[in-house]
Structure 1
Amino acid sequence: MGTVARSVIVNRSPITGLTKHVIAELVAEIGPLWDAQRCRRLSGRPRQRAPGAGARYELVFVDRLLATLVHLRHGVTHDLLACWFSVDRSTMTRAIGAIRPLPARRGCVVGPGIRMRTLADVVDHLGASGQSAIIDATEIRVRRPAPGSDGRDRYISGKSKQNAVKVLVVTDAQGRLLFGGALKPGSCPDITQTGGQVITPPHRKFKKNAPTWWEERFAQQRKALSSRRIRVEHGIAHLKNWRALSRHLGRCELLTELVPAIAGLASIHRQPPQPDPAG
């Protein structure tokens, strides 16, 4: 069953949102990171086994990566994934927990060999290329912290009146994702999350009996602002297409890994097709 699941996931792009070529690139890039992480974990133990000793993994690296992608894309439970790959639920939970932090290290793909991992990288890239960016903040619903925990009320959003975490999203003028992260509790206002770099909608000067010329001008101003902001809204929508971010049911600390990882994967999905060198 594991072989069948692997074949279906790789050959049907709607399951992961990524093509088989992109998955192959992820395997080649993340595989060495996972192997290095595993070696560090094993060498850090006081008692070490001889090379090649010990039980064999029930899940090979490729299956671990595919299961993690499906989990992030569609929010599939560990129980169901364990059935697909014919392993125990605990095995699947450990596998996803080990793979999940690795895509976050890749950053957002802007072009061949260009990665945006931090806000500083984004600022440097924009300064060097002379481009502009669009910044916005979005909310991800989370579980309310346990009673008695520190800062429990800080996650209540004043806008949605729900427990949420604010995420900063940066896109370029074409709507290509440059950064996703810089998490803040839901009580943090958007203007604070974006560092004050916000252009607010124009305010109504007349509440009643506004002149016709003012209504026309007001509508034009709002339309111009919406035309600029729609790019970052599209970027946020592509993030939320990954069900792991539509509503997070795990621990809030995991979002520091999930958001950058999914932002990087979504940036790959939004890359324009590259021309075939063979013609």
Structure 2
Amino acid sequence: MIAELIAEIGPLWQERHHSALTSRPRRRAVGAGARYKLVFVDRLLATPVHLRHGATHDVLACWFGVDRSTITRAIGEVRPLLAGRGCTVAPDVRLHTLAEVIDHLGASGQSGIIDGTEIRVRRPAAGRKDREKFISGKNKQNAVKSMVLTDADGRLLFCSPAQPGSCADITHARQLGLVKHLVDGPTVEILADAGYQGLGAQTGGRVVTPPHRKFKKNAPDWYEEIHERQRKTHSSRRIRVEHGIAHLKNWRALARHHGRREHMSDTIQAIAGLLSHQQTATRGPGQPR
């Protein structure tokens, strides 16, 4: 996998690096001066190690024999390139946008499953006007939120950019354009939890959520039995997205994020791309988990 990443990311990194060197006035030719102590292969290797195991920049600096700032700069360069790779669903097929995911599900005749996941982050500094918007209404903790979409087998297809934790799941889905993509795109069934109730009516029933309760009090025994059976049936169909989120959270960078919040979107999407590539390589397309 590392060899594939080197072949894919290397030219992109070199192009961006050369563009940065030539974009400003220079007294020396491009390429003059001291050579990097941390070569590209080591820069690429340090980034997945940091994302997967949560190794601090100080530890990585000792490992590679460079300064901490060099590791910070290297990860900052490589992480956006990894985030732009998209999710791999086949050796030659990658999905980058929500519209591509909907088209893929429609072409393959599969159902999709969506859910929101929260990642704890550091509390914004005192005095910031937007300090409270990161507080999650569900967990009462400072967090950012991402919408995860998998297929019926739990294969990761899409992770959205991060939003503050106070954003509701249904609001986030609407902001991403899920309703428009489902209405204008192919006929696709999307399974969701109760946090997305209301999208079914907007999408012509394409978003399927748990059944509403018709009785708030003193429900008949026969109704309780039917409602519970329907709820469990729906829950058993959408449990695969929870497995997909669990695989994401196994990466230490998403267990609890101690870095800058503005890097969370790239971090989430970089991990999603690496994880989906690994799943495709080890299990092969169409194989069960």
TM range (shorter): 0.7 to 0.9
User: By how many angstroms is 1:58 displaced?
Assistant: 0.7
Q: Secondary structure at the match of 2:162?
A: strand
Task: Specify the alignment match of 1:24 in structure 2.
Answer: 3
Task: Specify the alignment match of 2:144 in structure 1.
Answer: 165
State how far apart, in whole Å, the 1-side matches of 2:77 and 2:27 are: 20
Contact 2:57/2:68 (CA < 8 Å) preserved in 1? yes
Task: State yes or no: 1:231 paired with 2:240.
Answer: yes
The structure 1 segments of at least 4 consecutive aligned residues displaced by more than 6 Å after TM superposition are none
Identity %: 64
TM-score by length of 1: 0.84
State how far apart, in whole Å, the 2-side matches of 1:221 and 1:60 are: 57
- Deviation digits for residues 105-129 of structure 1, max 9, x if unmatched? 1100011221111112112222333
Contact 1:191/1:198 (CA < 8 Å) preserved in 2? no
> Any stretches of 5+ residues in structure 1 without a counterpart?
1-21
- Deviation digits for residues 79-120 of structure 1, max 9, x if unmatched? 001111111111111111111111111100011221111112
User: By how many angstroms is 1:209 displaced?
Assistant: 8.0
RMSD: 2.0
State how far apart, in whole Å, the 1-side matches of 2:161 and 2:60 are: 30
State how far apart, in whole Å, the 1-side matches of 2:115 and 2:219 are: 33
> Any stretches of 5+ residues in structure 2 without a counterpart?
175-198, 200-206
State how far apart, in whole Å, the 1-side matches of 2:139 and 2:208 are: 20
- Deviation digits for residues 164-222 of structure 1, max 9, x if unmatched? 111010001111111001422111112222333461465484656852x4443333222
Q: Secondary structure at the match of 1:179?
A: strand
Contact 1:68/1:96 (CA < 8 Å) preserved in 2? yes
Instruction: Tell me how many residue pairs correspond in the alignment.
Output: 253
- Deviation digits for residues 28-73 of structure 1, max 9, x if unmatched? 1011111111101111121153244211111111111111111000
Task: Specify the alignment match of 2:279 in structure 1.
Answer: 270
Match of 2:249 among 194, 216, 240: 240
Task: State yes or no: 1:66 paired with 2:45.
Answer: yes
State how far apart, in whole Å, the 2-side matches of 1:190 and 1:273 are: 31
TM-score by length of 2: 0.81
User: By how many angstroms is 1:254 displaced?
Assistant: 0.5
Task: Specify the alignment match of 2:26 in structure 1.
Answer: 47
State how far apart, in whole Å, the 1-side matches of 2:284 and 2:109 are: 23
Q: 1:150 to 1:83 in 2, by over 3 A?
A: same
Q: 1:200 to 1:190 in 2, by over 3 A?
A: farther
Matches within 5 A, 1:71-150: 71-150=50-129
Match of 2:269 among 260, 264, 272: 260
Contact 2:60/2:71 (CA < 8 Å) preserved in 1? yes
Q: Secondary structure at the match of 1:144?
A: coil
